[in-house]
A and B are shown apart, each in its own frame.
Chain A
Amino acid sequence: MCRRRANIGRVALCVAMLCLALGTPAMAQTQASGTLTITARVQSSMSLVFMDNANVGTTGFCPLTNAGTNNASLNLGTASFTTGDSLPCVKFAKIGAAIYDVSSAFDVLVTTANTNSPNYRLAVAMSSAPPANVTWMMNAATLTTAAQTLQAANPYGRTTETLHVQVKNSVPAQILSETIFFTATAN
């Protein structure tokens, strides 16, 4: 074969190879990739909410308003030394000859996450000093405006606490209201 014909053949082959080479990546380019790096920093946390006791509605277990939250209310009704309490869920009792006690129990649910804390300390305090001859108590502890430990090492979960209000019969008629602060601290 002459040189010119050989060259034409080579050129044709090169063109074909070029077409193949260009054609292959053209198809492969219909796919792309990207990366999204996800990061977070997990922090330990704990929760305290007030819950109705399982015996809610029976004597000594009044329902909470906003149960299931950390900002609930407990209505103890209207009470007097002579007539007792207006609400059947309130437990009424006389202490001695001149003091009456109204009480209701509720639950405190403390949970924790992302920590190996085995238990927690529960402290309580009241918002303001009560009138004379009025005593607010959580279980057996008399409440003051200073935080005090109610339980030093509660296991996580539900605990039942009972609020008492003790009123001497010399206390003038009035509305008695307090806000009680609960603080749970992981041990």
Chain B
Amino acid sequence: MDTQPIIQVESILAVLVFLVPLAFALVIFLFGRISRVLREGAAFVGIFFTFLISVLIAQRILQGEVLTFWGMNFYVDGLSALMEILGSFVGVIVILYSLSYVVHHPRLGNLPERRLRMYYGLILLFLSMMNLTCATNSIIMLFVSLEATTLATAFLVTFYWNRDSLEAGYKYLLLVTVGVTFALLGLVLLYSASIPYLPRSRVLLLTELGRIASKIPGNIVLLSSALIIAGFGTKAGLVPFHAWLPDAHAEAPIPVSALLSGIVIKVGAYALARTITIFSPSFPAVVLFVAVLCSVSMLVGMMMALVQDDIKRMLAYSSISQIAYVVEGLGLGTYLGVYGGLFHLMNHTILKALLFLTAGALMWATGMRKISELAAQRRRMPITAFCFFVGALGISGVPPFNGFLSKFTLFLALAEQGLLWAAVIAVITGFLSIACFGRAAYQIFWTTPPEANEAKVGVVILEVPPTMWTGMIILAGVSILLGLYPQLVHPALDRATNIILRLLLGP
């Protein structure tokens, strides 16, 4: 562990990171009707600015600073910066992709301007709320902003406004809201238990929780941990709280699915890392509970993914399995566990966004989403095929791709804590995911379509436009780069991990 001192610096960047996208969201909602520049243009510029601000924040943090604002009410450290950078990075690509996918969709026709305005406005509003979740330091505001991310994404899920998407949106909003209310109850219990140790400001800061944690009675920690895991676990999509996830991912437009799977469920993992990880060192029962829940999630999620024929549902179930790796690592509360969890969080964001966008490219070009139907198509889509293979190999943890490195770190972290059974389940799930993605890749890209179909289809389907494949290539490039040169992100991950550990073990 490094012993570099942490310097707390008051900086407006800590709040700009969510105020900027909020301002652009307002511009889109208010003036988006005037022209495309104020709609798609504003969305792109807004999200790009947010990305730049996150990069600036990350730079400051790598120099050993922690940004605060308004006393300690806003607090941005390595973990927050990681989330903010990933969120706005995927955001930029998703907005770029949407220019073709949503605005010029071959089968959707011309969408009313109001729907497009809502679409771009809500994406920016979501990003703003997510950055607020990562920047706030008050334990109750963590809940409020986390719930706001759900509210902002609900109408993105129902974007197509047909029966299935309305139903998926209702289910998503209801189940996640009910689930997160459990987390609220757990947070309130924690808050009430720490009132005697609070300063006069009467706000329970996340950074103070580590100091207070040892003074809170054990039974309250266990009860509130169970409630918080159930609540934020619903947001993260862990089994058995996952019922909303496959429907929402499958019925949302592809760019939104990429956002949901890449970022939205990670917000739940982030909230768990900020609350539960603090109790892991002193409460082995919490670690065990998280490990059992996550082992069930990864196994069930991957087994459900194996039997899906719908490519979006397959990717959605695989997300349940992958987020379980992240939460399991973060729940361990050891250096290796948190490091692996954060590394996998980063890899899964990039890889799952990549996979959803390639699936979107296939759907955009062919209008089909069943793996069996896609297999029977004659296509000439080399870029899409390449990107899909990178994503599939990466996410199933084949060396030398980035998914392998983070999964391997997690195996080691589990074994180090004596949770050998959990490590074995994680390895088995890894093999199952190779089978799952290998099958999909083989069927879609390597089977030659039967002659009869060739005559019927006749035309060869061509590659998607550059606005779509640029983002895919960037994501694929990043994931290959991370697999070959993991030392590029090591300083950032190391810093984030150390800050979490310092919060829980004291300075």
A, B in one complex: no
